[in-house]
């Protein structure tokens, strides 16, 4: 059980996105906070609070739901790799 918790925590930390990445992804896609909330199955207030940074430790399920929705809509999240975390539109294969 302890190992499972460590694996889940490691996966979460690796897939963590920042409030700035969420705002940026939403802006690139032209989504409102309400649209992201609806697509993610979370409350609009959760999106607002997370983007503002006023939720210091948001639920893992909320963050993963928003990340999945934004990725499904066409963005890629770039992890911290020395240049800071980022976000970009996924390249469309032609």
Q: What is the CATH number of the domain that holds 23?
A: 1.10.260.40
Domains in the chain: how many in total? 1
Owning domain of residue 74: 2-78+85-89
> How far is it, in rounded angstroms, from Cα 4 to Cα 92?
36
Q: Are 89 and 74 in contact (CB under 8 A)?
A: yes
**Is the pLDDT score of 90 beyond 80?**
yes
- Please choose, from the candidates 31, 35, 29, 42, the residue with its C-alpha nearest in 3D space to the C-alpha of residue 75: 29
Per-residue pLDDT tens over the stretch 12-31: 555 689 999 999 999 999 99
Q: CA 58 to CA 56: how far, in whole Å?
A: 6
Residue 94 forms part of a structural domain: no
Mean pLDDT of 57-80: 92
Average pLDDT of the segment spanning 61-89 = 92
> Higher confidence at residue 91 or residue 86?
86
Backbone angles phi, psi at 78, to 5 degrees: -105, 120
Q: For residue 65, is it within any domain? A: yes
- Give domain status of residue 9, yes or no: yes
Whether the model clears a pTM of 0.75, i.e. scores above it, the answer is: yes
């Amino acid at each position: 059980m302890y190992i499972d918790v460590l694996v889940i925590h490691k996966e979460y930390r690796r897939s963590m996105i920042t409030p700035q990445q969420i705002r940026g992804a939403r802006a690139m896609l032209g989504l409102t906070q309400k649209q992201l909330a609806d697509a993610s199955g979370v409350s609009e207030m959760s999106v607002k609070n997370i983007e503002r940074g006023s939720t210091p430790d948001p639920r893992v399920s909320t963050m993963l739901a928003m990340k999945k929705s934004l990725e499904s809509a066409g963005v890629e999240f770039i992890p911290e790799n020395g240049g800071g975390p980022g976000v970009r539109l996924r390249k469309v294969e032609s």
